Structure 1
Amino acid sequence: MPDPNSIQHRISTLTAHLHHLNYQYYQNDVSEIPDQEFDQLLAELQALEEDHPALALANSPTQRVGGTITKQFPTAPHKYPMLSLGNAYSEADLREFDERVRKGLEGADFAYVCEMKFDGVAMSLTYEQGQLTQGVTRGDGTRGDVVTSNVRTIKNLPLHLRAAGPAQPAEFEVRGEIFLPLPVFDDLNREREQNGEALLANPRNAASGTLKLQDSAVVAARRLRFFAYSFLSPGRNVFPSHSAALAALKAWGLPVSDTWRRCTSLEQVLDFIHTWEKKRFELPVATDGIVIKVDDFQQQEVLGFTAKSPRWAIAYKYPAEAGRTRLNDVQYQVGRTGAVTPVAILTPVPLAGTIVRRASLHNANQIAALDLRLGDLVFVEKGGEIIPKITGVDLTARPADSQPIRYPTECPACGTPLLRPEGEAHFRCPNDTACPPQLRARLEHYVSRKALNIDGLGAETVGRFAELGLVRTPADIYELTADKLTGLERLGEKSIQNLISGIEASKQVPFERVLFGLGIRYVGETVAEKLAVHYRTIDALLAASAPELAAVPEVGGVIAESLAAWSSQIVNRDLVERLRAAGVQLALTGEAPQAVSDRLAGLTFVLSGVFEQHSREELQQLIGQHGGKITGSISKKLSYLVAGDKMGPAKREKATALKVPIISETDLLAMIPAGAESNSADEALEAGRTGESEAASESFPATPSGSPGQQASLF
């Protein structure tokens, strides 16, 4: 029998080593070991923790991969209220602020600290004995949502602090900004555009929405990041100043932006603001201003707070950059799912650090709302200083004979009449089997990094193959041979060999990534993974009805209808068969969940609402383990509606009208053989995991009565 002490030592050693490697990679941009070796160490730790859960450490690096399903977020009070900042919009506003500070300090010398105001979500983190124990959102300033499981997935946020620099208090609070890096934001919007979904407006909203997701595995995939900007502790004289606190936070391993500067005069503050007015657009994170605060903590206490904000800090907001330019044309782009997106072609105009030549018009509704006409002089801004958008028209410069833009009725690529499904904003080209841009986009998606990731066959290459007629569908890729590729421009013998090897290797890509690669509308990475785990084979998935699909976690009615429609098309079933013949993975490996009993055989269930004892996925697994079936719609044939908290009234009314029995979660569990419920749930979830890919407002604390020595700063 293994020695528990030896196992505990190995877990502790691996944990410490992986924390160090994460710190080097995310804070110092240093990769001390290859990614594959890091993954092997992480897999070893995860295996040890699964075999010996009692020995796992609370802030293990394995927590970063996510996987916690939270049915609802509990709330917690803030020990120090998170107040908002006052705003300044001009140099005059800043001079008034400076004068108030001077009067409040009665002419004493003081310094400011200036920092970038990153556009994200304010977060309060608690560390105890150097370990992250809690993450709470700003909420209403006095109480926020506890989102610790989601916060743990943020890769550059240490779960365990380094023992470097000044001594750490036994317990303290760190506040900072959680944000979505711009490259990640762009990737998300590209994927949403391909899937025909509405684009995210700005990174701040995307970060906020991500933190409220119930599945921490999805949060982990979003690649959020964190910057610390505040240290709080009830003890006196931990640090003399905000600048000293920032240095300590960085020494302890917390990510602190290097863009801050200590300024000894208002003129230096203004110089900092002017320096970053354009330079900030070079940063990989959205910004919306500069934060200025008095550096010395004792002087902060002297200045104090108003009811809403500190007197010792202010946020300078840069004016929104806008331009006036001419709308020369509107081009219509056809995406992978057939959505036709209008794009404004503009006379180039400098805006927010870039030259803007194009702006998305999103759909026909926006064109109509703006009453756009070719030749108009339009006002352009960057939404959240990220996405160029047209905000209005200079009607005084519009010619009297101008005509409204007519949205095309036929696909600009293939001439097929466009359709506009009820309830949708986009017009779509239904010719998904022959429309050239749709075919090319689906091929590019299939070979993309998150899908099959075929070495040597990137988007440009597969696009060229499509233009040459070598491939039209993903299945055609597996019929490429060296003979067919020999003689093509920019493809030498070695490149051809690498490409053929990459195609062969793609046959081992797990089923969930193949399913994602098929490019079914609305089926993103997470949904593909959930479907793969639930159905395990492409055949079971294709056989499922829309109501059955809708009952799968993370799916729902819209995705289910899209899946059912895709499955019903002969051309898609033929594609599946060709991929099967080529040897592509169309099923999960590993053992399928085994039946525990037939107690629920012949019974069908609909689950609705939020459940207390189990997640919806766990209940679905339990029902399946005991012979029952899940469906997504209520009919006379339904055996039971299982009602959880916050179930919609429409389902209850329909079930009552059809005389379908309505039962609780407790009633359902009582139908399962005694002693089988907990074991079957664990076995079902474990079996589901087998074969998975391994792969704005700023917030300030207000000093509470009785705690005058609290340390506080921003960024």
Structure 2
Amino acid sequence: MHHSNQLTLAVDTKIPPVPHQDKNLQMQFDTDSSTPDDVVARAAQLRDEINRANRLYYVENAPELDDAEWDGRMQELLALEAAHPEIQSPDSPTQRVGAPPSSGFDEVVHPIPMLSLGNVFDEEGFRAWYKRALDFLELESAPMVCELKIDGLALAITYRDGVMERAATRGDGERGEDVTDNVRTIRSVPLRLAGDSEIIPPVVELRGEVFLPNSKFAALNAEREEAGLPAYVNPRNSASGSLRQLDSTETAKRPLDMFFYALGYIDGWDADDTKRPQNHSGSLEKIEAWGGRVNTETHRVESVEEVMDYIANAGEIRESLDYGIDGVVIKIDDLSLQSRLGFVGRDPRWAIAYKFPAEQAETTLKAIHVNVGRTGALTPWAELDPVVVGGVTVGRATLHNKDEIARKDFRAGDRVVIQRAGDVIPQVVEVSAKNERSADSKAYAFPDNCPSCETPTVQSEDEAVTRCVNTTCPAQFERLLEHFSSRVAMDIEGLGERVAQDLPRLGFVSSISDIYRLHERKDDLLELDKMGETRVDNLLRAIENSRSQPLSKLLFALGITGIGSESAEWLSRRFRSLSGVKDATEEELLAIDGIGPVVATTLVEYFAVEQNRQLIDDLIELGINPIDNTPEPSADHPANGVTFVVTGRLETMSRSEAQNRIKSLGGKATGSVTGKTNFLVAGAEAGSKLEKANRLNVHVINETEFIAFMEESIVPVRPDSLDSADV
């Protein structure tokens, strides 16, 4: 996972202790009363000495013990714990050797989601992001922290009373996998945090990136080649695979390393606790003090110019580092400003990733193919002679669209330049040598008919996408079925690409609603290729579990053009049910902040199709009818239905924060003063809006009155409406 998950603020919510899942590994915290005191004391001394030596060697690069001394202490501790199992503890360095193989990984729900980062690719993009953040905060500047974007796998490690309790992968951001036993084997990860209980929260989560050093990767591949085994493709994939070994003794053989980059969930520190860091750089200092390894290339900066200097330097030292990086992460340093900025969708407003230019390579374009997506879009892709780009072997890449193929004249047999966009999506950039084409080379003819259903394709003037408009197109339905079942939608594990193709082609499913009738066809499902009883049972169980997904997930899962996860949440909160959304008018949709005329029209047109209305009715009849019970703004609050305009500079909040507060209470926050405006909230340097409000006799209130209105329901009274005896 790219370094894209340092996106959490430390908050106080209760989290229960995490039970040990493997009974073979369950440790005792209380020693047997019959254990000799000198044995207990010696074991504790050895643990302290070995853990200190590990920290000095792997974290601080200042070794204290030589190998023989370290080995001697470890062998003595192993012998003591073998003779007295009751003295074992989770923070013992002997736990780094691995545990018995596991049958699988348990699911972990992150108490604070591990979200993603937005990307910029040049100085202009970065300056635009920084300006948006400052405009939102209404500040002239804000210090930032620059960090190298490590190309590894994101982890969240929970410590209870200073001892490692659980380690989980990022997963989909909300749920990951429990890889505690494997993470115990990473020697740069502290099993017990340094310092006494006065300075460590009772429960604290450290987040960071696991990686395989480049030098260790080369040595590992040399060993594999000598043993006649295939070489690993790149360090990142090797790190990911090592961390997901079911046998942690195998993970222990891999020289994984880790940098920590953020505090996550915290329990035990009040909001005003003096021990709580006030900025991100202070959080990193805490992690270092507790024994966590923080990248020494992390720096606090004051200006855009310093950020760009840092980025330039990172590009220069990139090749000399012993770990892969694919960019720089920039964060607003002040945690209170991070909290005010919040998130837009799944990305924080307070952090951004500056991505390095994509690596390129040259290969042969063997053939051009076309896929049909769930919205009918025809997407061309290139079949390539496999080539390594940025450490990954690429055999296929996107060609974007019909117009791009024609403009760049891509043809089968061409030598082409490819790159991984954002170091992720392979794409064909250009033809490298047109003059080397053979005499029989022919320009590619984009299909006039859908490759799946033969329906004539269309391309509107205002978009580059060519589409199949047949709503019963088999390929569209297969893609929709796959999308509907994806983790970010209804999360039906086991209904991936292959099964999503098999079910319609074999006649098991012809509508989304048929998924919820598959339990009646278990015997037929058992006949599918590679679908034994266990897989079928797991699939049917996942289908049943999906019934409990919230309305917003179901709306997103339907694959309606223009409806992403965020707009699905808006619709869910406004209409509360499937039938409510189905019967919504264009006027009702346009009244939702964030829903524009294009999306409103698309929704109305979608539900005007009888086939789509029937799908909703079928889902409801099958019991797939989640109701959104999110509390609505109180109708009793005096701001409900009232129109505000906020102008000028406020002292305790930004204009955006004031507008969000208004909307949360059911009010309307508009940008222009009109005769329908009820209140103008005027801060310092209000300007022309204040003049217009006075001209239109709009009630003008100050920030103190506004806060009393919002928080205490005290409606401001116009001075000219008071009786003289009240003045």
TM normalised by structure 2 equals 0.48
TM normalised by structure 1 equals 0.48
Larger RCO: 1 or 2 (CA < 8 Å, sep 6+): 1
